[in-house]
């Protein structure tokens, strides 16, 4: 099955960005926290717990009374949801028959138990051992989701794909590229080894796979990635981190910026009509190192990182000040 376009967005519920499984009606066989872990889950044939077969997901016991089970998830990053992936990987004789998904926006400290929930996905039939890609059309900002399963069973992973909606104060020095501030890697010419969105994730990379890495270039040219800032702003400091990239870091890198006053599709970012302005000239890089640069210019809405000729960058930080709201 080909994954839909929304799966290229940020997983707002991932533990990488602070997502939490707050409550489940039942997680007798497998803990609710597994829902948000990386990957699709694994299966170990002979692994058991005192309650039964060990499973890498959330699994409730067999229901012998009326009702159904549900799990409440707090998004690590509030935002607009574009779609879900309800993955029953490895659950083949114990998956739920149906699911339904709701969402709500809660103020800090408010309880989900008293929330007013909005249905985003109606009753949907599930299959065992499968990813279920469920699109959403709702413009509202949400902070929590509630996954209902009918009547019981196991789900390996829940992905909540969407756009981060952060609130940034004009004039405050922040990382405008950071995912928690609404930044995203909009487009890259190559993602052979790892995804471009790793560039804007929190913290330093855990390993070489937790960055953006292109294949070895055997023809003339260079690789590039375009980052959409969380909000338009002027830049003051840049960090290019090659953490864990030792024999495969780029020889050099350069930065350019552009201001686009309206929303555009990612494909428009390669248009020759755009007037990219230099931010950082081509500069030599070192292996496994944080590189810091003082820059100036802007405001920008997008920044293009060019690497020469290829290789891996673990993180890109673009510290600047949001422009005043109109």
Is the separation of the CB atoms in 136 and 56 below 8 Å? no
Half-sphere exposure of 192 (CA within 13 A, CB side): 10
Structural domains of the chain, count = 2
Beta bridge partners of 250: none
* H or E, element range at 52: strand 52-53
Kindly state whether residues 217 and 292 are assigned to the same domain.
yes
Q: Is 169 within a domain?
A: no
> Which whole-number Å values give the CA distances from 282 to 81, 241, 256, 271, 305, in the listed order?
38, 15, 10, 22, 10
CA gap 36, 156 in Å, rounded: 9
Of 125, 144, 164, which marks where a domain is finished?
A: 164
CATH code, 250: 2.60.120.260
Joined together, the tokens standing for residue 87 give 């993955």
pLDDT, tens digit (0-9, with 9 covering 90-100), for 12-54: 999 999 999 999 999 999 999 999 999 999 999 999 999 999 9
Kindly state whether residues 179 and 224 are assigned to the same domain.
yes
pTM: 0.93
Kindly state whether residues 153 and 185 are assigned to the same domain.
no
CA gap 5, 21 in Å, rounded: 25
pLDDT, tens digit (0-9, with 9 covering 90-100), for 131-190: 999 999 999 999 999 999 999 999 999 999 999 998 888 889 999 999 999 999 999 999
Q: The domain containing residue 248 runs over which residues?
A: 174-322
Q: Is 27 within a domain?
A: yes
């Amino acid at each position: 099955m080909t994954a839909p376009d929304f799966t290229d967005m940020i997983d707002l519920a991932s533990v990488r960005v602070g997502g939490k499984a707050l409550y489940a009606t039942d997680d007798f066989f497998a803990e609710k926290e597994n829902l948000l872990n990386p990957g699709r889950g694994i299966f170990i044939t002979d692994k058991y717990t005192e309650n039964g077969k060990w499973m890498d997901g959330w699994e409730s016991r067999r229901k012998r009374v009326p009702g159904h089970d549900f799990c409440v998830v707090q998004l690590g990053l509030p935002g607009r949801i574009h779609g879900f992936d309800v993955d029953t990987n490895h659950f083949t004789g114990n998956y739920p028959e149906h699911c339904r998904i709701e969402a709500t926006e809660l103020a800090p400290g408010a309880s989900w138990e008293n929330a007013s929930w909005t249905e985003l996905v109606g009753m949907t039939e599930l299959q065992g051992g499968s990813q279920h890609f469920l699109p959403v059309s709702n413009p509202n900002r949400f902070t929590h989701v509630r996954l209902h399963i009918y009547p019981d069973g196991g789900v390996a992973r829940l992905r909540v794909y969407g756009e981060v909606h952060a609130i940034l104060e004009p004039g405050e020095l922040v990382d405008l590229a950071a995912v928690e501030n609404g930044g995203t890697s909009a487009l890259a010419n190559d993602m052979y080894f790892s995804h471009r969105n790793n560039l804007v994730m929190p913290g330093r990379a855990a390993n070489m796979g937790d960055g953006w890495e292109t294949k070895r270039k055997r023809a003339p040219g260079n690789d590039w990635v375009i980052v959409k800032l969380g909000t338009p702003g002027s830049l003051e400091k840049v960090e290019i981190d090659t953490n864990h990239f030792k024999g495969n870091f780029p020889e050099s890198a350069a930065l350019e910026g552009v201001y686009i006053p309206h929303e555009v599709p990612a494909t428009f970012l390669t248009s020759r009509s755009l007037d990219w302005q230099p931010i950082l000239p081509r500069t030599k890089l070192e292996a496994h190192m944080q590189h810091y640069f003082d820059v100036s210019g802007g405001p920008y809405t997008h920044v293009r990182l060019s690497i020469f000729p290829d290789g891996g960058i673990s993180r890109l930080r673009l510290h600047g000040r949001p422009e005043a709201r109109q």
